Amino acid sequence: MVPAEVLSVLAPYVSLAEKLGRLAVQLVAGESGIKGVKVVYTSARDPDDLDTRLLRAMVTKGIVEPVSSTFVNLVNADYTAKQRGLRIAEERVSHDNAAAEAPLESIQVRLSHVQSKFAGAISDGGDIVVVGRVKYGVPHLTVVGPYEVDVSLEGNLILCRQIDQPGMIGKVGNILGQRNVNVSFMSVGRTSRGKQAIMAIGVDEEPDKKTLEKIGAIPAVEEFVFLEL
């Protein structure tokens, strides 16, 4: 059992951990089976003071449940991962900030030796990488592959990898507006000016196939993916 005082402190990070797992697994291409998962916790606390059992279970839940009928919880998470051949490694990284009150600065989920349906999510090391943190009590996505973004992990998400040029937010937003898809937020991260960028768009409902095709038909858009959170 996780002590009540630990659970109360980690509550918003529980949601973050599950959503990062859910996000990561949806970026995996086709029949590319997941075997290696690494979860990195960055914290200003002493690593020995950080109980990550619940967070590890929620990452497992996020990865397994979208692709199976298995219900995952704290009790069966490690067993479920073992049964599926899922190796979950954990690392605790110290964050030098004496003034930090939050138990965690960020959580990173890394899937190794898999193919991705969205090339923009591949890090320089060749893994699918997503990073998030809790801001104002709400889970946020802060990194996808090599790109920095800042989007709330609420509702659903469209990721577009594009050439970095003016007018892209307006073009995509106009298509979604014409199709009556409500946009809750947008964020753009880029590696360098005029090169490639990722646009992360929060939407309240899933756009239909025609709407997504219109977004993909924008000349500067190189790829896109819709993700359910």
Report pLDDT digits (tens) over 145-180: 999 999 999 889 999 999 989 899 999 999 999 999
Collect all residues with Cβ–Cβ distance below 8 Å to 73 and sequence separation of at least 6: 57, 61
Count of other CB atoms within 10 angstroms of residue 112: 17
- The answer on 139 and 53 residing in a single domain is yes
Domain that holds residue 190: 154-228
Domain boundary among 121, 145, 169: 145
Same domain (yes/no): 5, 26:
yes
- Secondary structure of residue 137 in the 3-state scheme: coil
Give the residue from 93, 117, 145 where a domain finishes. 145
CATH number at residue 224: 3.30.70.260
Domain co-membership, 79 together with 35 = yes
Residues 117 and 161 in one domain: no
Indicate the angle between helix axes 4-26 and 53-64, nearest 10 degrees.
30
139 with 168, same domain: the answer is no
Note the pLDDT tens digit of each residue in 101-141. Answer: 788 999 999 999 899 999 999 998 899 999 999 998 899 99
Measured distance CA(206)–CA(123) in Å, rounded: 27
Q: Are 129 and 178 found together in one domain? A: no
Q: Do residues 197 and 189 touch, judged by C-beta distance below 8 A?
A: yes
pLDDT value of residue 199 = 93
